A and B are shown apart, each in its own frame.
Chain A
Amino acid sequence: MNALKEVELKLMDLPDAVRRFIVDGSHIAMAGFAITRNAMAIAHEIIRHGRRGLIVSESIGDMALDLMVGAGVVKEVNYGGGSLDRLGRIDCVNRAIVEKRIRVNEYSNFSMVSKFLGGALGLTFMPTKSMIESDMFKILKDRGEATEIVCPFTGEKYIALKTLRPDVAIIHAQAADTDGNIYIHGPKFDIKEVAFASNRVVVTVEEVVPKDRISHDLIYIPSYRVDAIVPRPFGAYPTNLYGYYYHDEEHIRSYARTQCEDEPFRKYLEDHVLGVDSFDEFLRKTVSPEKMLRLIYLAKTLV
């Protein structure tokens, strides 16, 4: 099979990607961060497909995570804290913690990154110097997610973390090329660790470009680690994407104002996710072409 054919097999639309790679109970890994690079389009599709009982791991909780938790499709979260920056809190996750609706394992950012890194390295645990003596660690220890160990060489104290091998990573990237390689521009956060820890990698991209249009030096996830490529312009909206579009402050604030209260949150979900048949329809209903251009223009001035 030549390379082109292989890419064609990986190219698919959102419903197809969700049908093929995410089932009830799947363990999903994400690499968004607050209001940047959220895998929004695929989160919408997962909710619309009515998937249930998902485990979601993400180093910094974001809008995509919060929306999925609020929509009731998640049974367990591993995260390292999170917010919508100063636009608001992720109150579906916050409420899930205090109301104990679902299990939320709470870590520090680097502890989560270490769990992905360890999983990517094929290790079953990772030592860390974070979280020592914290209440997060006490809870995680009770749940069998972490424990204290000493270095066999120096006797120094560490926390051992269980590592992560999620079923599927869902990542939104700037571009794929016609060989199926993925390009990530801007800060990388933990995208590589998430992609290499997960068994399958589903990537939504703003655009597909000809091979070598972008220098292959800049490939961030190589094609052999990518299982599905979904062309999905504005796929991180209303969060931002470096070089492509700024976040929609007004929209994110209005989401945050629901504070995950039953009625306003249900209304948000109905208006923007469940009551539309596609992410395209969501975009058409939600963001005017003029606003879209403003968000694009602003991002282009910030590279």
Chain B
Amino acid sequence: MGYTPEELMVVTGAREIKDGDNVLVGIGLPMACAILAKKTHAPRANIFFENGVVNPESTDYGVGLADLKAWAGSSYFTGAVEVLGFMLQGGRIDVGFVGVLEVDMYGNVNSSLVSAGGKLRHFTGSGGGNDIVSSARKVIVVTRHEVRKLPERVFFITSAGYVNGMDRAALGIRGGDIIVISNMAVLRFDKMMKRMTIRSIHPGITVEEVVNNTGFPVELPEKIHTTPEPTDNELRILREKIPKSLYARE
């Protein structure tokens, strides 16, 4: 079955979630990953929003975390201390997803401030993003693969990844490994140098395309894997059960 780059991203993100995992997401492609995981291989995963919504099951997730549509069908309403405190800082969020303005070669994330033509612009800021990157046991960054989204160094560190290529635990950060899922590749961070390296390239994408669309010399492993394709079952469930507005570009 054919598929779009976004569909591959959703399936790839969903496969990072294991059955029984606690998953902290926002509205958007990460939410599609979490729902798909629950509807395929991880039925006992739990989905959390930072405002205290747990396990929503809606047909339309609206315009964001504060949309009543995104809360429909929830199993439980609680608050931020429980989700971001007890669950996340308490070490019980297995997978946390974040979107970004920029993510750099050391996995540092910017969702706050950019400089465009010498003019500063401030966007959303952290929200729960820093909390997720700081404390989730596995952090998944979702981004389009463009030079400006993947610079050598982010303009502003909203959330620290491996900072200058340091071990996160040695910096006092409890959060776990960071994985970047783009529309071209899955990227991870080298065990020693903590620099962004290719884990796999999506089918039909060349190494050259990845290199040319990355704002720094991305590390190339000796053997470059291809991202596994979505199965027919995953695609069928994604298309039938998950609103396209969550993951397809407008």
Contact = CB atoms under 8 A, between A and B. Distances in A.
Interface of A: 33-36, 59-61, 79-83, 85-87, 89, 93-95, 97-98, 106-111, 113-114, 117, 128-136, 156-158, 186-193, 239-240, 242, 246-247, 249, 298-299, 302
B1 interface: no
B79 A190 contact: yes
Contacts of B172: 129, 132-133, 156-158
A298 B71 CA distance: 13
A285 to B, nearest CB: 25
B234 to A, nearest CB: 26
Contact of B126 (A35, A87, A108): A108
Contact of A110 (B78, B84, B120, B122): B84
Nearest to B79: A188
Contacts of B51: 33, 36, 60, 187, 189
B151 interface: no
A142 to B, nearest CB: 15
Nearest to B124: A83
B66 A81 contact: no
Contacts of A190: 79-81
Nearest to A98: B120
Interface string B77-120: 11111001100110000000000000000000001110000001
Interface residues of B, number: 52
Contacts of A239: 66
B52 interface: yes
A188 B66 contact: no
A111 B81 CA distance: 10
B64 to A, nearest CB: 3
Name A's interface SS. Answer: mixed
A93 B88 CA distance: 27
A240 B89 contact: no
A114 B85 contact: yes
Contact of A129 (B49, B64, B69, B89): B89
A135 B85 contact: no
B156 interface: yes
B78 A188 contact: yes
B53 A110 contact: no
Q: Tell which of B65, B67, B121, B156 has the most Cβ of chain A within 10 Å.
A: B67
A249 B192 CA distance: 49
A242 B125 contact: no
Contacts of B53: 187
Contacts, number: 185
Contact of B80 (A107, A109, A156, A158): A109
Contacts of B187: none
Contacts of A81: 111-112, 124-127, 129
B123 interface: yes
A193 B135 CA distance: 21
Contact of B79 (A35, A89, A192): A192
A109 B84 contact: yes
B80 A136 contact: no
Interface in B31-58: 49-53
22 contacts: A34-B66, A35-B63, A35-B66, A80-B126, A81-B111, A94-B123, A113-B85, A129-B135, A132-B172, A134-B130, A136-B130, A136-B157, A136-B158, A158-B172, A187-B51, A187-B78, A188-B52, A189-B52, A193-B81, A247-B68, A302-B68, A302-B72
A193 B78 CA distance: 13
Contact of A36 (B68, B126, B128, B156): B68
Contacts of A298: 68
Contacts of A95: 122
B238 interface: no
B143 interface: no
Interface string B234-247: 00000000000000
A242 B66 CA distance: 10
B124 A110 contact: no
A113 B84 contact: yes
A240 B67 CA distance: 8
Contacts of B89: 110, 128-130
A106 B156 CA distance: 12
B159 interface: yes
